[in-house]
Amino acid sequence: MASGLNVSTYCLPAHLEILGRLGLDKAIERKLALNYPSAPVEPKVMELFRFADKLTRSPGEMEKADVDRLREAGWSEAAIFDAVLVTSLYACANRFSAGLGLIADF
């Protein structure tokens, strides 16, 4: 999802390839990667997606209330930590691949 928000020409195709190899339906893959609000996921998961979206697009606007909403949705401290870490790492990887002009070659 984060690579889709970042429109990563390298990471997005790689993630779609991985999801396909895991047996996910292509329509679901694309929704998760490119239009997550339309993906058929549980409300708890959608709340996590919205959090990752805000962290990706507007990190300077993050507030304690954003984390509190995840707790209220039922996410553990460890899961929240993992979500922040993964979202942040994808932002770094997406900018790294964009900065080098990498494109998927598979």
CB 54 within 8 A of CB 66: yes
Question: What is the Cα gyration radius of the chain?
Answer: 14
Comparing C-alpha atoms, which of 4, 14, 98, 99 is closest to residue 53?
4
- Dig out the tokens for 27 from the structure: 């329509």
Q: Structural domain of residue 12, as residue ranges?
A: 2-100
How confident is the model at residue 87, as a pLDDT?
Answer: 95
- Tell whether 105 is covered by a domain: no
Confidence (pTM): 0.85
- Indicate whether 106 pLDDT > 80: no
Please check the confidence at residue 32 and state whether its pLDDT lies above 90. Answer: no
Structural domain contains residue 24: yes
Residue 9, in any domain of the structure: yes
**Residue 88 resides in a domain:** yes
CATH code of the domain containing 35: 1.20.1290.10
Quick: pLDDT tens for 5-25. 888 888 888 888 888 899 988
Q: Within a domain: residue 106?
A: no
pLDDT tens column, 41-83: 999 999 999 999 999 999 999 999 999 999 999 999 999 999 9
Domain count within the chain = 1
* Lookup: tokens for 63: 């507030």
Q: Compute the distance between CA of residue 6 and CA of residue 94 in angstroms, rounded to an integer.
A: 7
